[in-house]
């Protein structure tokens, strides 16, 4: 490395470190408004583990709701921006964050037609998120909702607004609907596996936490996706005290059609009745206060072969860690006798 290259590299690193400091010390984003909408709109946040099938469930649910005559808006709040892909046959729609950045650079304002698109009566949009290592996904969510408010979100006359949130990320932006009463109720999508139920239980814990702080959001129920009949998700719902809104079977026809970006929630189709019932249950289910499980209670839903409950925890010793016996060193701490 030449003497000229070294200072240049040092300057780049210094600028990068300063940018990180500036981002870390940036003031919190402006609070998102939570004034009531101008119509009796049900705003429902759907949470679940990544890959559990939220986008599949929501695309078909929103499509069925639209066919039932309900004016429905689907908003993807996952940085992957894949919520609307199935709805639009595998096509990605421009995200709010990406579009607003481009418009800002061009000195133009974002219009509804730039970010909201429709198919067969379903309205849909994606908030989007930053690239890896280039920002906070939670702050991206907050920025996205601020943009929606500028576009008149509280004046839109929808019957249902469905929000697709990633459930296994715990930063504040993804908990926005629960923390700030932006929705009336939450739905969790889970399966008969420990990881998805762990996420579902975390979401229930968040709802209960904010209820204790004066919040009003409740859990409307759980959608069991890829149901193989083993019953762990059903047992979870019973323990937590929330209803089962639908059981979507682990079926090869569903898997293939989903992989090919086909909507199956069509009236009169093979799976039409399933999603028609889900749509009605989602509309009618009241928000309830869940009873989250402890870690041990959650593990007890599964067999010992699954979670290894027959293993005994053996404490490690100093010898294990350092390869020698621990020396009792004298201490200068003064210990006073208690009276």
Distance CA 250, CA 338 (A): 64
HSE of 296 in the Cβ direction (CA atoms, 13 Å)? Answer: 0
Which of 82, 159, 168, 193 is flagged as catalytic? 168
Q: Establish whether 185 is a catalytic residue.
A: no
Distance CA 17, CA 29 (A): 22
For residue 287, the tally of other CB atoms under 10 A from its CB is 20
Q: Establish whether 91 is a catalytic residue.
A: no
Sheet of 117-119: strand order equals: 117-119, 122-126, 72-76, 160-166, 42-48, 185-190, 218-227, 244-249
Distance CA 210, CA 203 (A): 11
Structural element, H or E, at residue 19:
helix 5-24
Q: Establish whether 239 is a catalytic residue.
A: no
Do 173 and 138 touch, CB atoms closer than 8 A? yes
For residue 234, the tally of other CB atoms under 10 A from its CB is 17
Q: Establish whether 150 is a catalytic residue.
A: no
Q: Where are the beta strands (DSSP E) in 30-70?
A: 42-48
**Which residue numbers are catalytic?**
49, 54, 80, 168
């Amino acid at each position: 490395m030449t003497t000229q290259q070294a200072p240049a590299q040092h300057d780049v690193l210094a600028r990068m470190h300063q940018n990180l400091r500036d981002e870390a010390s940036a003031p919190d984003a402006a609070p998102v408004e939570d004034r009531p909408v101008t119509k009796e709109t049900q705003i429902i946040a759907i949470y679940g583990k990544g890959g559990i099938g939220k986008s599949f469930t929501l695309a078909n649910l929103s499509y069925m709701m639209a066919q039932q005559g309900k004016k429905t808006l689907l908003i993807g709040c996952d940085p992957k921006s894949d919520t609307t892909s199935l709805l639009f046959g595998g096509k990605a729609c421009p995200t709010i964050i990406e579009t607003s950045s481009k418009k800002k650079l061009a000195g133009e304002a974002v219009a509804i037609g730039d970010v909201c698109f429709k198919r067969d009566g379903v309205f849909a949009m994606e908030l989007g998120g930053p690239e890896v290592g280039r920002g906070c996904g939670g702050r991206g969510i907050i920025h996205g909702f601020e943009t929606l408010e500028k576009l008149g979100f509280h004046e839109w006359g929808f019957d249902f607004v469905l929000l697709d949130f990633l459930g296994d990320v715990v930063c504040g932006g993804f908990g926005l609907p629960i923390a700030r009463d932006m929705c009336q109720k939450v739905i969790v999508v889970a399966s008969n596996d420990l990881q998805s139920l762990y996420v579902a239980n975390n979401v229930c814990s968040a709802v209960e936490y904010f209820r204790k702080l004066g919040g009003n959001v409740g859990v409307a129920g759980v959608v069991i996706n890829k149901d193989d009949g083993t019953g762990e998700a059903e047992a979870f719902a019973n323990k937590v005290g929330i209803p089962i809104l639908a059981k979507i079977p682990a079926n090869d026809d569903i898997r293939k059609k989903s992989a090919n970006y086909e909507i199956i929630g069509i009236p009169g189709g093979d799976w039409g009745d399933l999603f028609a019932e889900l749509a009605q249950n989602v509309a009618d289910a009241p928000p309830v206060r869940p009873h989250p499980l402890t870690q041990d209670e959650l593990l007890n839903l599964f067999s010992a072969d699954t979670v290894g409950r027959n293993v005994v925890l053996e404490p490690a010793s100093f010898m294990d860690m350092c390869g020698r016996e621990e020396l009792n060193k004298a201490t200068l701490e003064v210990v006073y006798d208690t009276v």
